[in-house]
């Protein structure tokens, strides 16, 4: 009996120590993958979501969309701040946030934080020194601005997990080329960085069988995702495939199931000027070191993502973790 109890305590300790305190910086609202990643986070018991900041273009509308998603998942407690609208080094025009069409204006949502995006990043990092994992799902303007505002910030952030760049041939992916200067600042800041490049995230595309499973699941949250998918299909550029890539969801896989990815330390230089402005050149040039994903078990990762998105709310699991934490304290 005593042995069983000790085993349970050990399991609880393991679960709690594996829990990540995360702030998500996102350009939610254009492509669907940011929303899918946020939904996945809210379904992941090992992730404790401390806040959301929005970046790029109409960040107020993006923040409203994030709040609406949190409402759908019953997580109105999470603080959302609108961040930088203009990149430090502008390259392309932001879109009109088409996914915000899902917002029911009759629903009363919590207010957007009075802090700016960079201010919320600073507050979260300094109030949880050494514990904050920043999940960066868009251009890196907010994080770069926060690093400029608070010189000690790089010491306080535990890790950045970013979607962007490449670990194969030089390439100008959307997040890096949308603000190349911000990417240079963040990569060079001295914070441990896990990088999920374009060559890895494009391996994870929603499958027709996943859509069928979404359609056949009648949970409120799943219906919300299904609606988002319908909006995405109406607004996707003609050159895009019929089913979306889940780039940003791969960042959640890196936290929840890192064994499905293979990583390698490499240099990652971002070109800031000339015809190659916005390209990331990995390995071949001197530059900041990152842990870059070089491989993914794509089928297993998609299965992990889909199962989590379709699983019943993890609220009970989170409650278990909280109870366990109080039990140990
Ligand atoms: Ca994104």
Distance separating alpha carbons of residues 249 and 200, to the nearest angstrom: 12
Q: How far is CA 143 from CA 62, 118, 187, 251, 292, in A?
A: 17, 6, 10, 17, 19
Cα of 305 from ligand 1 centre, angstroms:
16
SS3 299: helix
Give the pLDDT confidence score for residue 1 in this predicted structure. 47
Cα of 251 from ligand 1 centre, angstroms:
11
Mean pLDDT score, 149-170: 96
pLDDT in tens, 11-41: 545 544 568 999 999 999 999 999 999 999 9
pLDDT in tens, 160-192: 999 999 999 999 999 999 999 999 999 999 999
- Tokens 């914070």 locate to 191
Cα of 201 from ligand 1 centre, angstroms:
11
51, β-bridge pairs: 23
What is the β-pairing status of strands 261-270 and 289-296? antiparallel
Distance separating alpha carbons of residues 302 and 287, to the nearest angstrom: 32
Residue 82 has pLDDT above 60, yes or no: yes
Residue 112 has what DSSP assignment?
Answer: P
Which pTM does this prediction carry?
0.90
Task: Give the start-to-end residue ranges of the domains of the chain.
Answer: 21-319
Give the pLDDT confidence score for residue 241 in this predicted structure. 82
Cα of 55 from ligand 1 centre, angstroms:
9
Residue 321 has pLDDT above 60, yes or no: no
Q: Report residue 84 as tokens.
A: 């930088």
Cα of 10 from ligand 1 centre, angstroms:
37
Sign of CA dihedral 55, 59, 64, 65: negative
160, β-bridge pairs: 134, 193
Cα of 140 from ligand 1 centre, angstroms:
11
Give the pLDDT confidence score for residue 110 in this predicted structure. 97
Give the pLDDT confidence score for residue 320 in this predicted structure. 42
Sign of CA dihedral 257, 199, 66, 234: negative
Cα of 113 from ligand 1 centre, angstroms:
21
Give the pLDDT confidence score for residue 317 in this predicted structure. 43
Distance separating alpha carbons of residues 196 and 294, to the nearest angstrom: 8
CATH topology classification for 21-319: Inosine-uridine Nucleoside N-ribohydrolase; Chain A (3.90.245)
292, β-bridge pairs: 195, 264
Q: Report residue 154 as tokens.
A: 């790089």
pLDDT in tens, 238-255: 777 889 999 999 999 999
Residue 10 has pLDDT above 60, yes or no: no
What is the β-pairing status of strands 157-163 and 280-282? unpaired
């Amino acid at each position: 009996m005593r042995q069983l109890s000790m085993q349970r305590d050990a399991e609880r300790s393991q679960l709690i120590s594996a829990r990540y305190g995360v702030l998500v910086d996102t350009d939610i609202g254009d492509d669907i993958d940011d929303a899918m990643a946020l939904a996945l986070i809210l379904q992941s018991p090992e992730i404790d979501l401390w806040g959301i900041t929005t970046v790029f273009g109409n960040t107020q509308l993006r923040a409203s969309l994030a709040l609406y998603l949190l409402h759908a998942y019953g997580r109105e407690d999470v603080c959302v701040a609108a961040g930088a609208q203009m990149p430090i080094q502008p390259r392309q025009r932001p879109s009109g946030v088409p996914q915000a069409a899902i917002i029911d204006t009759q629903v009363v949502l919590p207010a957007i934080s009075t802090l700016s995006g960079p201010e919320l990043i600073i507050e979260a990092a300094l109030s949880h020194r050494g514990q904050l994992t920043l999940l960066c799902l868009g251009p890196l303007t907010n994080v770069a601005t926060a690093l400029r505002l608070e010189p000690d910030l790089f010491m306080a952030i535990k890790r950045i997990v970013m979607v962007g760049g490449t670990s194969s041939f030089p390439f100008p992916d959307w997040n890096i080329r949308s603000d190349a200067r911000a990417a240079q600042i963040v990569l060079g800041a001295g914070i441990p960085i896990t990088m999920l490049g374009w060559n890895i995230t494009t391996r994870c595309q929603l499958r027709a069988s996943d859509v069928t499973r979404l359609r056949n699941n009648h949970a409120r949250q799943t219906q919300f995702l299904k609606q988002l998918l319908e909006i995405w299909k109406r607004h996707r550029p003609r050159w895009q495939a019929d089913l979306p890539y889940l780039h940003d969801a791969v960042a959640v896989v890196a936290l929840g199931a890192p064994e499905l990815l293979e990583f390698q330390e490499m240099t990652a230089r971002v070109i800031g000027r000339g015809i190659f402005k916005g390209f990331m050149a990995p390995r071949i040039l001197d530059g900041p070191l990152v842990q870059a994903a070089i491989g993914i078990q794509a089928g297993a990762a998609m299965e992990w993502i889909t199962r989590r998105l379709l699983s019943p709310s993890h609220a009970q699991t989170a409650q278990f973790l909280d109870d366990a934490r109080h039990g140990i304290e």
